[in-house]
Amino acid sequence: MRTIAIMNQKGGVGKTTTSVNLAAALARRGKRVLLIDMDPQAHASLYLGIEPNAGAPSIYDVMTGDESIASVCRKAAERLWVVPSHLDLAGAEVELAGEIGRERILRGKLALEQTAPDGAPYDYRIIDCPPSLGVLTINALTAAEEIIIPLQPHFLALHGLGKLLQTIKLVVTRLDHPTLRLSGVVFCLYDAGTTLAREVSNDIRNFFSEEKERNPRSPWAEAEIYRTKIRRNIRLAEAPSFGQSIFDYDPKSNGADDYADLAAEVDGCKREFASRNKTKSASRPKRATEPASPEKTEPSAGSAADRSGPDGSNVTYFAPNPLSMEID
């Protein structure tokens, strides 16, 4: 069983969209999946049509009370179960302030339950994190073995990545979780054809490959930049209003296609991933604006590149490079 936290303290980068649709895609691949909504906004729950109901127990009751994961989880689709969230979870940070071992509550509860309500074990547990680095995200990290970071490749997206990696490192060292690993970065809301998106992708790629050489034992030394990029697709933004994953809402959309690809990649099916992509590029008309594949693009020159600002002035888009943070 793999437990994956979908994490980025930056808001609106595609964490929930990725958690829900990756979980749904894995379930469609025949995997048994538990999706845990750790965000008080309860967007993942709402996305799958589960109304955070005042009376029904939620992850809040798991975190602050005696409820078990099994007692609050609900079936959302074939092979897909959800642990819903509730707005009350916003108060958990304060409520748990004096609690000993508050960083490992979720880990403890998950350890008690490896199986779905029907008695068979889960293959995946996916945790949708809130946009913060507080106690809820720390609980997700101590409970998980893997992390996936969704990133929107625009010039502000890189700010905060250093802090995020430092948080991972703190969990590994101070909270004694040496097996925690960053599995990969997935680009979301990707605007194919823009130079900036390509440059930011290349800078991140360069950072991780340099980091691998510099510090082969860091929790992100093996991190992949997933080849699948989740393109901006309006159907992905519409699906939550209907309480449906993209596969139920519009299975023929680019969004469904991209999340199916990502699931194949995460699930480690390289051959299937390659053949899916072959079909994809064969069926997609070539556009003049389409970017070259990452393998074919030249790395951008330097990370602290200057870009033209909205007013035409030169702005430094991430200088000093936030990725050259002090991580020893």
Ligand X SMILES: Nc1ncnc2c1ncn2[C@@H]1O[C@H](COP(=O)(O)OP(=O)(O)OP(=O)(O)O)[C@@H](O)[C@H]1O
For ligand X, the closer of residues 32 and 52 by Cβ is 52
DSSP label of 291: P
Q: Before 117, cis peptide (omega within 30)?
A: no
Does position 168 bind ligand X by CB under 6 A? no
Does position 16 bind Mg ion by CB under 5 A? yes
Which residue stretch of 41-49, 206-214, 271-279, 288-296 sits at the interface with Mg ion (rule: CB under 5 A)?
A: 41-49
**What is the residue type of 37?**
D
Shortest Å, Cβ 10 to Mg ion: 11
Q: Before 291, cis peptide (omega within 30)?
A: no
For ligand X, the closer of residues 52 and 240 by Cβ is 240
- Give 73: exposed, middle or buried? Use CB within 10 Å, 0-12, 13-18, 19+: buried
Rounded to the nearest 5°, which phi and psi values hold at 75?
-80, 130
CA 72 from centre of chain: 23
Cα gap 279→229, rounded to integer Å: 16
Shortest Å, Cβ 217 to ligand X: 29
CA 252 from centre of chain: 23
For ligand X, the closer of residues 104 and 235 by Cβ is 235
DSSP label of 13: S
Cβ-contact 188, 152 below 8 angstroms:
yes
Among 16, 137, 218, 253, binds ligand X (CB under 6 A): 16
Shortest Å, Cβ 187 to ligand X: 10
Rounded to the nearest 5°, which phi and psi values hold at 272?
-65, -40
Among 2, 10, 15, 79, binds Mg ion (CB under 5 A): 15
Which residue stretch of 67-75, 229-237, 287-295, 304-312 sits at the interface with ligand X (rule: CB under 6 A)?
A: 229-237
Q: Which two tokens stand for residue 313?
A: 């002035």
Length of the chain counted residue by residue:
328
Does position 43 bind Mg ion by CB under 5 A? yes
Task: State the binding partner of 237 from Mg ion, ligand X, none, CB within 5 to 8 A by kind.
Answer: ligand X
Does position 161 bind ligand X by CB under 6 A? no
Cβ atoms < 10 Å from Cβ of 301: 8
Does position 178 bind ligand X by CB under 6 A? no
Does position 256 bind ligand X by CB under 6 A? no
Cβ-contact 184, 230 below 8 angstroms:
no
Shortest Å, Cβ 261 to ligand X: 13
Shortest Å, Cβ 15 to ligand X: 3
Cβ-contact 15, 37 below 8 angstroms:
no
Shortest Å, Cβ 123 to ligand X: 23
Does position 10 bind Mg ion by CB under 5 A? no
Does position 39 bind ligand X by CB under 6 A? yes
The overall longest dimension of the chain from CA atoms, in Å, is: 61
Shortest Å, Cβ 230 to ligand X: 5
Find, among 13, 19, 46, the residue nearest to 127 by Cα: 19
Does position 253 bind ligand X by CB under 6 A? no
Among 237, 274, 319, 325, binds ligand X (CB under 6 A): 237
Cβ-contact 117, 70 below 8 angstroms:
yes
Could you give the 3-state DSSP secondary structure of residue 114?
coil
Shortest Å, Cβ 80 to ligand X: 17
Among 15, 29, 79, 229, binds ligand X (CB under 6 A): 15
Which residue stretch of 54-62, 107-115, 235-243, 299-307 sits at the interface with ligand X (rule: CB under 6 A)?
A: 235-243
Q: Which two tokens stand for residue 204?
A: 């991140």
Residues that bind Mg ion (CB under 5 A): 15-16, 43
Residues that bind ligand X (CB under 6 A): 11-17, 39, 41, 43, 131, 188-189, 230, 232-233, 236-237, 240
